[in-house]
Amino acid sequence: MPKKGNSESSATLILNTLEIMINKEKTGVRELSRELCVSPSTALRYLQELVNNDFLEHDKSNAAYTPGLRLLQLSTQVNRGFTLPQIARPVLEKLFATLNESINLGILTNDMREVMHMDKIAADRMIRIDTSVGKKAPAYCTALGKAMWAFNPIEDVIKALKNSDLIPLTPTTKTEIPDILQELELIRKQGYAVDKEEYSEHLECIAAPIFNNKGKVVAALSVSVLVVQKKDSNSKLIPIVLDAAQKISSQL
């Protein structure tokens, strides 16, 4: 149990809040203020700070706070003793050996507006994009981003869309919110996302979401394929990508 007391430092109270949230599905401002023995305004300040940094999510429909993406990832790492890239790496390597195409692992960041690459195995090809580890890309026009958006609360996705600069990076980039939301609905039904030269010309990506043991999407993996060599390979790639994502999910 977290320690309580008004004399505690802000850092300690933030850590106590995280500990409470790891063990709860949701909480409210007043409930948290009672558990921390602080005023509701102080509890609200800590909750908002954690929401701003993706550790918590705020459901405005019922004013509840729930564990966010970064807290779920941290909880998984502590419970398993491994980081997400460590768990995923053997699967990514096997996928690369099977397909000989670039493989990417990513998570959502920056209030769900961007994808950050956690791992990558690059194929030897003339056309490349910079998706090195730590590199960020817009979520709205990448298969990784759309694969994760599709399985997040719609209100959070709409907020991320409204706060994003929806710039057409290529002639095929979707920049209208209704069009993107319609595509996300399709992704939810089929279980995977496709980026058809929307982020980079001549490259097409297929991505599948990765879920933790509570059914929350925490990451996604993708395969990047040159359009000139792709032909009709999507139908063969999709089940392979889905199977790889499921293998990682089963270990979280």
Are 138 and 242 in a shared domain?
yes
Tens of pLDDT, residue by residue over 110-121, are 788 999 888 888
Are 63 and 98 in a shared domain?
no
When divided into structural domains, the chain yields a total of 2
Of 180, 188, 195, the C-alpha closest to 150 is 188
Are 129 and 213 in a shared domain?
yes
Are 195 and 218 in a shared domain?
yes
At 5, the pLDDT band (50, 70, 90 cuts) reads: very low
Of 132, 117, 128, 121, the C-alpha closest to 94 is 121
Measure the CA–CA gap between 134 and 242, rounded to whole angstroms. Answer: 24
> In sequence order, what are the residues at sequence separation of 6 or more whose Cβ sits closer than 8 angstroms to the Cβ of residue 154?
181
Angle between helices 40-52 and 29-36 (to 10 degrees): 110
Of 220, 225, 198, 233, the C-alpha closest to 128 is 225
At 209, the pLDDT band (50, 70, 90 cuts) reads: very high
3-state secondary structure of 123: coil
> What's 132's domain CATH number?
3.30.450.40
Does residue 74 lie within any of the structural domains? Answer: no
Does residue 3 lie within any of the structural domains? Answer: no
Are 83 and 196 in a shared domain?
yes
Does residue 1 lie within any of the structural domains? Answer: no
Does residue 4 lie within any of the structural domains? Answer: no
Are 144 and 30 in a shared domain?
no
Both tokens assigned to 190 = 């089929």
pLDDT of 4 reads: 46
| Beta-bridge mates of residue 225 | 204
Residue 125 contacts residue 226 (beta carbons within 8 Å): yes
Residue 202 pLDDT exceeds 80:
yes
Are 93 and 55 in a shared domain?
no
Are 84 and 60 in a shared domain?
no
Are 50 and 171 in a shared domain?
no
Distances (CA, A) of 242 to 149, 225, 230, 239: 16, 16, 18, 5
Residue 204 pLDDT exceeds 80:
yes
What is the distance of C-alpha 147 from the center of its chain? 8
> What's 20's domain CATH number?
1.10.10.10
At 233, the pLDDT band (50, 70, 90 cuts) reads: low
Q: Which residues constitute the domain of residue 233? A: 79-249
At 6, the pLDDT band (50, 70, 90 cuts) reads: very low
Are 50 and 124 in a shared domain?
no
